[in-house]
A and B are shown apart, each in its own frame.
Chain A
Amino acid sequence: MREYQILGHADTRSGFGEGLLAVGKQNPDVVALSADLTDSLKMDAFAKAFPDRFIQVGIAEANMMSMAAGLAIGGKIPYTGTFANFSTGRVYDQIRQCIAYSGKQVKICASHAGLTLGEDGATHQILEDIGLMKMLPGMTVINTCDFNQTKAATIAIASHAGPVYLRFGRPKVPIFIAPDMPFVIGKGLMLQEGNDVTIFATGHLVWKALQAGVILAQKGISAEIINIHTIKPLDEECVIRSVQKTGCVVTAEEHQRNGGLGDSIAQCLALHHPTPIEMIAVNDQFGESGKPEELLVKYHLNTPDIVAAAERVVGRKI
C-alpha cells in the first residue's frame, strides 16, 4: 500500500480563495458576493483584482442569496461567500425558492464548516448543512478535503450547470492531493485500493481515513479508501463496485450522522447492496469551544475512531 506524502499544510478556505481568483481570470461572468467575511474566506485577492465584479453585501445573508439569483438571471455566475452556518440554515428559504426551485447558477461557497471551526463554538459549528443542502432538488453538494482539491473544485463548479453547495473549512490541514489532480464533480476518488473494508470519507476526515488505512494495514486489514467529495449526486456505481469487493463499509465525515455522507451511502447500499456499515460522524449533538484537534478527539471523529470502526465492521461481515 502507498503512504500519502504531506505536500504542505494549508486551510481549505485558502484553496477557495486561490480558486476564485483563478476562475475569475478564466471567466468574465464570474462575480463574487461577500457578507462581511471577505478576509475570512480569502476572497480579498478576487476583490482586489476584479472590484467591479465583487459585491460587498454586509451582514445580510438573506439579501445576498436572493441577489445572487438576480445576478444569475443577468447571465452572471455568482459565488456567495460566508460561513457554512450563514450559508445554509440562516438562508434556507432564500436558497430554496430563489436558487434551487428557480434553477439558478449560484455557487454557495461555505467556509468554517463543522467542529474544526474551533473556539467560536456551537453557534458557528454547523453540522447539519450537508443534509439541508442535499435535500433540495437539483442541488449539487461538495465537501473538499484539502487546499488543492478545494481550489480545483472552486474552478470546476463554474462550468457546472445549476446550483452548487461547496463546503470547506477553517484550520490548516495537510495537503495531499496533487495540485494537477482534475476535479470531476460526482465522481468518487480512489485514494487507496484494498480488499477487506471500504472507507468512504469526505472533507477533513479524508486525511484521517488515510492515516487509519496505514494503521489498519499494520493490523493486517486491507482498507480501500475512497474520497467522496461530491455527496450529491452520489457516485453510486463507485460505491457499489467497491463494496461488492470488500463487503463492509465505514463512512467518515465532520457532520451529523443524520443527513450526512453516511446517510447517503447507507441509503444507496440499503437499496442496491445491503452491507454492514459503521458511521464516523457526530450523532445528534451540538459542538463546543475547543481546538480543532481536541474536538475531533472528543467527538470521536479521529483516526483511532476510524480504525476501531473498521475493525468492528470487518467483524460483522457474514
Chain B
Amino acid sequence: MTDVKGLERMATQVRRDIIRMIHQVSSGHPGGSLGCADLFVALYFDILRHHPEQFTMQGKGEDLFFLSNGHLSAAWYSVLARSGYFPLNELATFRKLNTRLQGHPTTHEGLPGVRVASGSLGMGLSVAIGAALSKKMNKDPHLVYCLTGDGELQEGQVWEAALFAAAKKVDNLIAIVDYNGKQIDGPVDEVVSLGDLKAKWLAFGWETLEMNGNKMEEVISTLREAIKHTGKGKPVVILMKTEMGFGVDFMMGTHKWHGTAPNDEQARRAMEQLEETEGDY
C-alpha cells in the first residue's frame, strides 16, 4: 500500500532541499524543481523498480528514468540522495567546484543515478527511446521514464522522437511533460504557443494521459494507469499540469523563479512554508 501522506512529507522535505541547495550557492533553478518535486518523489519512492545502492549504468532488470530538462537538477539530486543513490550530505556540494552535483546532471563525474548528461534541451526523449529499444533487445521487461519541460517541446528533436516512438511502437516508454505553461522569457503561450498539446500527442499516435502533478494521490494513480497502457503497441505520455514554484507562495504564479536563486530573506520565508519532515542534509 502506498503511504501517500508519507510521500507528501518527503516531497515537502525535497522542496526544502531544493531551496537550501540553490540558496547556498546563489544559483540554480527553483521554479521547475519545486513544481516537479511530487513527481520525483512518486517515481523514486513508489513507482520505479530500482536498486539505488547497486547503481549500474545499464540498469539491467530495473526501470530507468531520464531527466531531459536537466535544469531541474536540484530536485533530482535531492530525491536521488534521499532514495539511497549517494550520501545525503553530498547535496551540500551542489554546483560547487569539484562536485559530482554539477549545475546540470552529467555522467562525467560519476554520480550514481545519472545515465546521460542533460541541460541542452530536447534530447532526453531520444535517449530514453534508445534505452527502451535496448531493453526490448535485451528481453528486459522493465520500463523507461522520461521527464521533459513544456517549453522544451519547442525543440524540433522532441517531435522527431515523438514520431519515431509511435511509428516503431516503442511501448515500454512513459514520457511526462511538465506542463507548467512557463519558460524563461514568459508564458509558453506568449513565447511560442504549443497550441492544443493533447491533440498533438494524440495525432502523433501516443497514448495520452493528463494529471495534476501537484496532487500526490493523482500522480500515483495516473502513473499506475500509464503503466497499464504499456506493452500495447503505443508509447505513453502524461501531460502533467504543475505550478512552477509550488510550495512557496511568492514563487508561484510567475516565470520569474525559473532560474533565480532566493536571497537570505526569501530563503528564510520559503523555509517557514516548508516543514522539515525528514531531516535536513
Tell me if B218 counts as interface (CB < 8 A to partner A).
Answer: no
- Closest-by-CB residue of A relative to B70 is A97
Whole-angstrom distance between the alpha carbons of A75 and B106 in the complex? 18
Q: Mark B135-177, 1 if CB is under 8 A from A, else 0.
A: 1011000000000000000001100110110011000000000
List the A side residues contacting B138 at CB < 8 Å.
74-75
* Binary B-proximity of A34-71 (CB < 8 A = 1, otherwise 0): 00000000000000000011010110101111111111
Residues of B202-236 contacting chain A, CB below 8 A: none
> Residue among B116, B118, B128, B129 with the most chain A CB within 10 A?
B116
Cβ–Cβ < 8 Å partners of B130 in chain A? 66-74, 78
* CB of A120 closer than 8 Å to a CB of B: no
Q: Which of B5-13, B119-127, B247-255 contacts A (4 or more CB under 8 A)?
A: B119-127
* Given known A57-B164, A70-B134, contact A102–B126 (CB-CB < 8 A): no
The listed residue with most B CB atoms (<10 A of its CB), out of A52, A55, A70, is A70
By the criterion CB–CB under 8 Å, are A75 and B134 in contact?
yes
Task: Kindly state whether residue B241 has any CB partner on chain A within 8 Å.
Answer: no
Task: From known contacts A66-B157, A70-B126, A73-B127, infer whether A102 and B117 are also in contact, taking CB-CB under 8 Å.
Answer: yes
Please give, as numbers and ranges, the residues of chain A lying within 8 Å of B118 by CB-CB distance: 97
Closest to B57 in A: A73
Knowing A52-B137, A53-B137, A98-B116, say if A74 contacts B131 (CB, 8 Å).
yes
| Partner of A62 from B115, B117, B156, B168 at Cβ < 8 Å | B156
User: Which B residues lie within 8 Å of A98 (CB)?
Assistant: 116-117, 123, 126-127
Interface residues of B in 57-111 (CB under 8 A from A): 57-60, 64, 66, 106-108
A73 touches B115 (CB 8 A): yes
B170 nearest CB across to chain A (Å): 10
Interface assignment of A88: CB less than 8 Å from any CB of chain B: no
- Chain A residue numbers with a CB within 8 Å of B134 are 70-71, 73-76
A194 proximal to B (CB < 8 A): no
- A55, closest chain B residue (CB): B133
Q: How far is the CB of A81 from chain B (nearest CB, A)?
A: 15
Other A-B pairs, 19, CB within 8 Å; known A69-B130, A73-B130: A58-B163, A60-B157, A63-B160, A66-B126, A67-B127, A67-B164, A68-B130, A70-B66, A71-B130, A71-B134, A74-B58, A74-B130, A74-B131, A94-B123, A97-B119, A98-B126, A101-B107, A102-B106, A102-B107
Enumerate 8 A-B pairs (CB-CB under 8 Å) in ascending A order. Answer: A62-B123, A63-B126, A65-B126, A70-B133, A74-B130, A76-B134, A78-B130, A103-B107
